Amino acid sequence: MTTTADPRRATPRTDAVLADPRLADAASRLGGALVKDAVRAVLERCRAGEVAPDAVVDTVLAALPRTATALRPVLNATGVVVHTNLGRAPLSPAAVDALTLAAGATDVELDLDTGQRGRRGRSAMAALAAAVPDAGGVHVTNNGAAALALVTCALAAGKAVVVARGEMVEIGDGFRIPDLMESVGARLHEVGTTNRVHPRDYADALDRLGDEAGFVLKVHPSNFQVTGFTSTVDVRELSALAAERGVPVVADVGSGLLAPHPRLPDEPDAATALRAGASLVTASGDKLLGGPQCGLLLGDAALVERVRRFPLARAMRVDKLTLAALEATLRGPVPPVPAALATDVAAVRARAVAVAEALAGVVPAEVVDSLAAVGGGGAPGVTLPSAAVALPEALARPLRLDAERPVVGRVERGRLLLDLLALAPEDDAALVDVVRRVAGAAGSAGVAGVAGAR
C-alpha cells in the first residue's frame, strides 16, 4: 500500500524561514512584523500542501508588498479624471519630489535667517496667493469640508447662515452640508424652494434676521443638478444685497477651480467668485487643482485672518507633506488632472491605437470612441470626448486583481473599456504589460470570453 507523506512534517520552522538572508533584507525595508505575518500565512499554506517546502521563501517574497503599506498603485483606465475611490487627483512628479523632501526635517515653521519661529507654510501660502491674485488673504485646512466648517464656526457660531433650499446638498459618503454646519454651532435659514430662489428671498431673510445673520452661503451643488423650471441668484447679485446689510457672502465652489476653464464653462471658480464680490471662497485642493487633499480658503484679508486665528483652526491644520505638495502643484509643471482636461481627443485616440496594436495576437482589442467624466463632483453633466480600448468583459476582474499593478476600467454593454484620458501617457506601456500578462494567464485557465479568442 502506498502512503502519502504528510506535508506538515516537511514544513520548515518559522525561525528557519525568517533567517533566510533575502527575508532579512525585506524585514529591514518593510519591518519585521509584516514579514513575519507573511511567513506565517505561507507556512499555513505549506502545511495544507498548497506550497512546496522548498518554495516557501520565494512565495513569501512574492506576497510581500513593495512598501510597508497595504495601499496598491492602480492604473486608472475608468475615464474618470478625478476618481474619488482611487484617491482623487494623482500628484505631479514635482509634488511627489516635494513629499520626499518634506519627509525629513524642514524649515516649515522656522525662519532660518533669524533662527526664530516663522509663519507655518509661508512659501505654500505665497504660492497660493500668487495663483489667486484677487484674494486678499489665503489659508489652508486639511480638506474642503473643514474649510467650510471652520468658516462657519468662526463667523456664525450661534447665528444663522442663509442658504438656498436647493443648495442643501449631500457630499461624499453621506455627509450633508446642513449637518456639517449645524455640528459646529450654526443654524441654517433656508430660502426659496427646491428649484427656485430669488434675490428677494435672501433680502427678506436678512432683514428679518438682522444681527443674527452670520453670513450668506452660496454652494456649488457639485454632482447634483436641477434642470427645467429653475432660478438661482449668482454671487454678484447676492454680494450686492448682502453688502448693503453688512453681511459677508461665502461661496463654496467645491472642486477647486482657481480660474475659468474653457472646457468647463459652467464650473464656478475662485477668481470669478471673488471678483463678483464674494467675501470668502472655500474649495478642495485635490480635485480640479490637481493637488493633495486640503481645503482652500481665499478672500478678504481681515476675514481670512479672523478664521485663521480661530482656536478650531489648530485642529484642522495641514502637515508639512501637504504644504510641500500643494506648493509644488501650484509652482511646478502642469499636474495630471489639468493636463488630462487639456488633452485633445486625437492624441488619446492615437495612444489607444498603439495600445490595441501592442495587444494584437494576445487578446481581442478594439479602439472605440468613449465619453470620459471630470469626477469628484466637478462639472456635473459634462462629458469629455475620449478613446478607449475595448477588451472582453471577462478580463475586468482579473485585471483588478493583478498582483503587480491592478488595472481598473469600466464595463459597458458586455465589454471592458480601458479609457486612456485619465491615464498618464507614460503608463501606457505598463497597461500593455499587465493586460498581456493577465490575458495570457486567463486564456491558459480557460476564462470565458478570453480563451480561444486569439
Residue-by-residue pLDDT tens, the chain, 454 positions: 344 567 677 899 999 999 999 998 899 999 999 999 999 999 999 999 999 999 999 999 988 888 888 888 999 999 999 999 999 999 999 999 999 999 999 999 999 999 999 989 999 999 999 999 999 999 999 999 999 999 999 999 999 999 999 888 777 667 788 888 899 999 999 999 888 999 999 999 999 999 999 999 999 876 667 777 888 999 999 999 999 999 999 999 988 999 999 999 889 999 999 999 999 999 999 999 999 999 999 999 999 999 999 999 999 999 999 999 999 999 999 999 999 999 999 999 999 999 999 999 999 999 999 999 998 878 777 889 999 999 999 999 999 998 789 999 999 999 999 999 999 999 999 999 999 999 987 665 555 555 444 3
Architecture of domain 93-333: 3-Layer(aba) Sandwich (3.40)
DSSP string, 134-175: T-SEEEEESSHHHHHHHHHHHHHTTSEEEEEGGG--B-GGG-
- Coil, strand or helix at 260: coil
Question: Distance between CA 330 and CA 332 in Å, rounded?
Answer: 6
Q: What is the pLDDT of residue 449?
A: 54
CA 400 to chain centre: 19
Contact indicator for 233, 202 with CB cutoff of 8 Å: yes
Question: Distance between CA 81 and CA 340 in Å, rounded?
Answer: 7
SS (H, E, C) 129-141: HHHCCCCCEEEEE
Angle at the Cα of 308 (from 302 to 310), degrees rounded to 5? Answer: 105
Return the residue matching grid coordinates 518634506. Answer: 102
Q: What is the CATH number of domain 75-86+338-445?
A: 3.90.1150.180
At 359, list the grid cell: 495587444
- Coil, strand or helix at 245: coil
Q: Which residues pair with 138 in a beta bridge?
A: 298
Domain ranges within the chain, ordered by starting residue: 14-63, 75-86+338-445, 93-333
